[in-house]
Amino acid sequence: MIESLLHENQLSNDNISSLLSSLFVKGIDYADLYFQYSVAESWVLEEGIVKSGTYNINHGVGARAVKGEQTGFSYSDELSIDAIEKATKFARGISSLKGSKKIQTYKSSSLIANYNGLNPLGSLTSKEKVDLLNQIDSIARKEPKVKQVNASLSGAYTDILIASTDGVYITDYRPMVRVSVSVIVEHNGRIEQASSGGGGRYDYRYFVDHNLAEVYTNEAIRQALVALKAKMAPAGNMPVILGSGWPGVLLHEAIGHGLEGDFNRKGTSVFSNRVGEQIASEKCTIVDNGTLANRRGSLTIDDEGTPSKSNTLIENGILKGYLFDKLNARLMGQNSTGNARRESYAHIPMPRMTNTYMLNGKDKLEDMISSVDDGIYAVNFDGGQVDITSGKFVFSANEAYLIKKGKIQEPIKGATLIGSGDEVLKNISMVSNDLRLDSGVGICGKNGQSVPVGVGQPSLKIEGLTVGGTEVS
């Protein structure tokens, strides 16, 4: 798609090289052009009816020039040579020097793609897409307590081409699909809501072949019915066991962001200047891996054309390194880790996570549970927030259970986990061997940009964590 679009606008490889050369004036350390073509659609079911369907096409180019810590950036949604020349003129304005520098010769590279680069939007007909949503509604309404069902099916396909002054000239073809299910249940006047879903870098047929409409719907119902029975959560400092899978979002927020290169270069992270230090329990090994096949957070190349990698962030409790894009890596005397990401051509790249998760330990979940006399078992989270500088976080558990005398008791609601990332890492005393990744729903926001990510972890025990509860004494 992107090649044909460039051809339509008389943008040959020579033209792109010429535009890049005009961007790379004296005084500029690095420059790149990021071409993008995207198509996306969304289908939404409410109250038993597919009420909306949208389809949009978006394309453009971002022109970036980097000088020291400064970035000049401009973009155009028009792909004519004149429009791109205007964008490059603006971006290179951070340098007052004249005269172009020589760009490196483009390197040819053959990479193994981490997903099938085919457009997923045509993998089901419009009728099949509507039928999938109706199937979700039909399954959900078999449960008498379900009063409302909302569901959505979305897909996108993005082609990019990156040309940079350090010799990168590369394309990537990125599919993405997602199904979301939300149900509202009611019993004896009490109303609760829960949601489920999943997706990744494959096509819609994956949902059909693996019967995932039923899986996601039943999971949303299960969580909602658990919430109907939940009692108010206690408060205090207590042992907390985090379940496997999606609870890894706590690691993503409270620890992962603090390991991104821009925060550490500026010294604003609680983990700044601590590479080589023991910052966590020796049971903890955490990686950021963008090479997992078909995962939501995976990339074949990042948004600067660097091949995606598996980066070990913490190994046996020792901080091994940070996540870098080219700018922050250069300023810190490091190499890019393949973690430059941007929301679209209209945004500048920055260091971001891909799929971030803790590796398996040797403990067992049942041993963790039996070791707790009085605590909670948090299985799912709604969301939370973190202060990067201090590492302090607040997370809300939307599915959690009391643990009393080594046994799981009744579900609780309103449990809020409060702590700091470095504190949590040190207080992890047990790590299970049941690593699970999330189902493919993660979206990460940073500096106004949103990108798809993955999280995961095995079950783990935190010896002491502050729980903000709602129980009235």
Where would I find the H helices in 290-448?
A: 326-331, 365-370, 421-426
Pair 308, 302: CB distance under 8 Å:
yes
- Length reported for the chain: 473
> Can you give the pLDDT at residue 471?
65
What torsion, rounded to 10 degrees, do the Cα atoms 85, 89, 92, 95 define?
Answer: 150
26 backbone dihedrals φ, ψ, rounded to 5°: -60, 140
Tokens, residue 267:
């010294």
> Can you give the pLDDT at residue 315?
98
Pair 212, 203: CB distance under 8 Å:
no
Residues β-bridged to residue 184:
148, 193
* CATH fold label, 2-229: PmbA/TldD fold (3.30.2290)
- Where are the domains positioned within the chain? 2-229, 232-468
Tokens, residue 252:
């993503």
What is the helix (H) or strand (E) element at residue 228, kind and residue range? Answer: helix 212-229
The span from the CA of 294 to the CA of 285, in Å, is 23
- Burial class from Cβ neighbours inside 10 Å (0-12, 13-18, 19+) for residue 172 reads buried
The span from the CA of 371 to the CA of 228, in Å, is 28
Residue type, 275: V
> Can you give the pLDDT at residue 377?
98
The span from the CA of 445 to the CA of 427, in Å, is 27
Pair 40, 56: CB distance under 8 Å:
yes
> Can you give the pLDDT at residue 123?
97
Each residue's pLDDT tens digit in the chain (473 positions)? 778 888 888 899 999 999 999 999 999 999 999 999 999 999 999 989 999 899 999 999 999 999 999 999 999 999 999 999 999 999 999 999 988 899 998 887 778 999 999 999 999 999 999 999 999 999 999 999 999 999 999 999 999 999 999 999 999 999 999 999 999 999 999 999 999 999 999 999 999 999 999 999 999 999 999 999 999 999 999 999 999 999 999 999 889 999 999 999 999 999 999 999 999 999 999 999 999 999 999 999 999 999 999 999 999 999 999 999 999 999 999 999 999 999 999 999 999 999 999 999 999 999 999 999 999 999 999 877 888 888 899 999 999 999 999 999 999 999 999 999 989 999 999 999 999 999 999 999 999 999 999 999 999 999 999 999 876 44
> Can you give the pLDDT at residue 6?
85
Residues β-bridged to residue 56:
40
C-alpha torsion sign, points 238, 242, 246, 249? positive
> Can you give the pLDDT at residue 473?
46
Q: How many CA atoms lie within 13 A of 464 on its CB side?
A: 3
Tokens, residue 268:
């604003």
Angle at 339 between CA 334 and CA 345, to 5 degrees: 120
Tokens, residue 396:
């809300």
The span from the CA of 98 to the CA of 399, in Å, is 61
> Can you give the pLDDT at residue 386?
85
